[in-house]
Amino acid sequence: MLTMKNINNYFLSILFTLLSIGIGYGQCGSVNAGGSATTCGTEYTLAGSTEGDATGLMWSVVSVPTGATNPTISDPTVLNPLITGMNKPGYYKFRLTKTCAGGSTTFSEVTITSTGDTSTFSAGSDITDVFATVGTVNLNGVIPEGFTGEWKAENIYEWKRFARKNSNNATLSNPNIANPTFSLIKKADHDADPAYTLTLKITSVYNSNCSYVKTIIVRFIPNPQIQLSNIEVCANTVLDNMVYVSYVANSPRIGSEYPETTGHPSSGTTITLNVISEPIGGNLSLVKLETGNVHFKTNALGLYRYTISVSNLQENYTTPEYTINITGLSPSYLNFVDPMHPNQHNGYSYGGSAGMVVCGYEGKDTPIDVFFSINEKDDPLTTTTTASIHTGNYPPGGEAPILAITGDGQRKRILKVTPPLGGWRVGTYAISFSTQNGSCTIGNTYFIHVSDGNRPDLSIEDVVVCYPGSGIVDATVVLPPVYQEVINPNYLAGNYDGEYVFSVVSKPANSSTPIYENRSNRSIKSTSTIISNLDKPGEYVFKVKAQGYIPLVDWVLEEEYACSGASRETTFKIIVSEQVGSNAGSDQPDVFCRERIVLVGNDPGAGTGKWTVESAPLGTNISFSDDTSPRAVVAGLDKTGSYKFRWTITTGSCQSSSIVEVVTNQDNCKAPFLITNPMMPGKTKKRAK
């Protein structure tokens, strides 16, 4: 039955349908080919999207780098096909086309930057057959197209012995070409063991976070003609006494302890000790060659005579005769550890060092007693100890403290340290001890550190770095303000070695292990350090602790922080935020007589999106249904002209944006005519023709 209510509903449905058609982008809808991206490799999965059904889609290749063949699209009819075969570095443009009902089309394009194929990358082969006296080799690397290269040399002995990364006594003709020459600076007189790790790192010119590394060994055959000094010393112990013999100037240096160093038995150089004579009951043995000195072991006092034979492919060489004369038995290091005085510790920096940290002593005139004892093997009646402090070994602005030792002739003794007028000053006092028994002496250094009590809780700010979607990124971590030798030149002076030690608490799934810099670049004197090998987006949580470089000296920082009631460890985050390339969708160049359109940007993923008006005809009032949604209805396009909208995607510290243009024509629209409801002559509806 036709009723007035039914007729009203009929006209309202017609009106709704007309308005709905006016809001949409034609019958077809917009497509979006996704945001531009850069690979670290030759493959990429496209990220298309569409307004409406995902039908009538077709991906195609628009352009490729000069000389490149077209890559393969796994399935050109789906929104997210896999692209393979982008083997030549450069820019590949792809088009996503949607064919609509009736045959009309709309399309969107995206550019994918490929770093290209790296299968030819090579650092060449190991080189182990060149004499150090020749000292030059040609490297044979291969740097693929689209990459830059950088060679670095690291001395193997320096790294294995001291954990130091340097290229001692070596140079590259040009570190940035594939085939430079690598040479020793000093050849016959090489003052470093001539074995090196050569690393070639290539980095894409299109993606600085995409790099690859290969290494080779260059180990020269060392000059066997070593030259040593004669030595006369006191023994530290009768049995198994270590003796360190220096090289003479201009002697070649060889390391023999570590594999891959030139003097190691596996490297082709044989080193033999030839004993000519020994004292009665004596036995001289060769322990190892280091680049600083040669280590021997003796087990009796007296004169030892010897030569050393060094044999390799260059020659079989025997040194002249040398002597080691052990003239007496040296006293042992003093012992500063006393259960009654737990604030005293053996070990501060170097061998024979010891010390203590005192809190709240600034300005006090209270003397400090240092308790120490003579070693059990030394006769206290014949062993003497003296103490002194030299200018520069106490904090500036004051005088030296007064030193007095009591207990001569006894095994346990006391050094009383009385501060000068004005009391103790903040900083570190280095007191030199000399212990003598007959003609042999040995030295200790005792450090009294007066803390300022101003250490705050250890704190490191979180870091956010941008991840472009492929490759590896680094994060620069700002370390706490430096205080060692900054508060004053003597604050924790005496070569104290503290560091910040990092460990992983958690990291993104399937991510690689982060890499920390060498200890020298994260010491308590460092202002920042770099954590590298971050290869997955997400949150990395680290624990960091300020501590001594070895457990023996960790007490110094433990007590330094305790004087302030502060914590010396904390956690912080490195947030690796993945950049999502923005694509504002396909342009709409022929919007006719519609004040509303639909914008279709690409999905921001874990980030956030934002639509903004880049430009519009004067006098328009633009509004968005939701300016944070990739699909947004835009109203207010009531003026003829060009409208530009920017779609910005922000992910952490990463930001990308693109612009879509909409061109409207409102000038030739016919005036609406009235539809009159025959059942209700007073009610009318407007409809555009």
Residue range 429-447, pLDDT digits in tens: 999 999 999 889 999 999 9
| Domain 231-329 CATH assignment equals 2.60.40 | yes
Distance CA(263)–CA(270), nearest Å, equals: 7
Distance CA(85)–CA(113), nearest Å, equals: 12
Q: Give residue 256's region: left, alpha or beta (phi > 0; psi -120 to 50).
A: alpha
pLDDT in tens, 362-419: 999 999 999 999 999 899 999 999 999 999 999 999 899 999 999 999 999 999 999 9
pLDDT in tens, 665-687: 888 775 554 455 555 555 544 44
Q: Which H or E run contains 622?
A: none
pLDDT at site 103:
82
Q: For 355, which DSSP code? A: E
Q: What is the mean pLDDT of residues 561-565?
A: 98
Return all residues near 187 (Cβ < 8 A) that are at least 6 apart.
132, 133, 134, 135, 223
Distance CA(681)–CA(673), nearest Å, equals: 15
Q: Checking DSSP bridges between strand 588-592 and strand 654-665, what pairing results, if any?
A: parallel
Among 176-190, 412-426, 517-531, 589-603, name the one with the lowest average pLDDT.
589-603
What is the domain partition of the chain in residue ranges?
A: 136-219, 231-329, 345-450, 463-578, 581-689
pLDDT at 586 over 90: no
Helix intervals (H) in 534-625? 555-562
If you average pLDDT over every residue of the chain, what do you get?
Answer: 91
Distance CA(174)–CA(182), nearest Å, equals: 9
What percent of the chain is helix, strand and coil (3-state, nearest 5)? 5, 45, 50
Which CATH code, of 3.30.70.100, 3.30.450.20, 2.60.40.10, 3.40.50.620, is assigned to 581-689?
2.60.40.10
> Which residue has tokens 């993923």?
605
Q: Checking DSSP bridges between strand 515-516 and strand 353-358, what pairing results, if any?
A: unpaired
Q: Which of 637, 639, 634, 635 is nearest to 667 (CA)?
A: 639
Edge-to-edge strands, sheet with 293-298: 241-246, 293-298, 285-289
pLDDT at site 4:
45
Distances from the Cα of 397 to the Cα of 400, 412, 420, 425, 446, angstroms: 10, 34, 11, 8, 21
**What is the CATH T-level fold of the domain 345-450, as seen in this structure?**
Immunoglobulin-like (2.60.40)
Distances from the Cα of 189 to the Cα of 159, 165, 508, angstroms: 21, 22, 51
Q: Extract the tokens encoding 431.
A: 């007191």
pLDDT in tens, 193-245: 999 999 999 999 999 989 999 999 999 999 999 999 999 999 988 899 999 99
Distance CA(685)–CA(676), nearest Å, equals: 7
Distance CA(599)–CA(680), nearest Å, equals: 39
Q: Which of 7, 17, 46, 34 is nearest to 649 (CA)?
A: 34
Return all residues near 586 (Cβ < 8 A) that are at least 6 apart.
30, 31, 32, 106, 107, 108, 600, 660
Torsion of CA 10, 11, 13, 16, to 10 degrees: 180
Q: Do the domains 231-329 and 345-450 sit in the same CATH topology, yes or no?
A: yes
Distance CA(211)–CA(204), nearest Å, equals: 6
Please tell me the pTM assigned to this model: 0.78
CB 526 within 8 A of CB 502: no
Which CATH code, of 2.60.40.1730, 1.20.120.1200, 2.60.40.10, 3.40.50.1980, is assigned to 463-578?
2.60.40.10
Distance CA(687)–CA(675), nearest Å, equals: 7
pLDDT in tens, 457-514: 999 999 989 888 888 999 999 999 999 999 999 999 999 999 999 999 999 999 999 9
Is the sign of the CA dihedral 170, 173, 177, 181 positive or negative?
A: negative
> Which residue has tokens 């003829």?
640
Q: Which H or E run contains 21?
A: helix 4-23
pLDDT at site 688:
43
Distance CA(189)–CA(225), nearest Å, equals: 9
Distance CA(64)–CA(81), nearest Å, equals: 17
Helix (H, G, I), strand (E, B) or coil at 4: helix
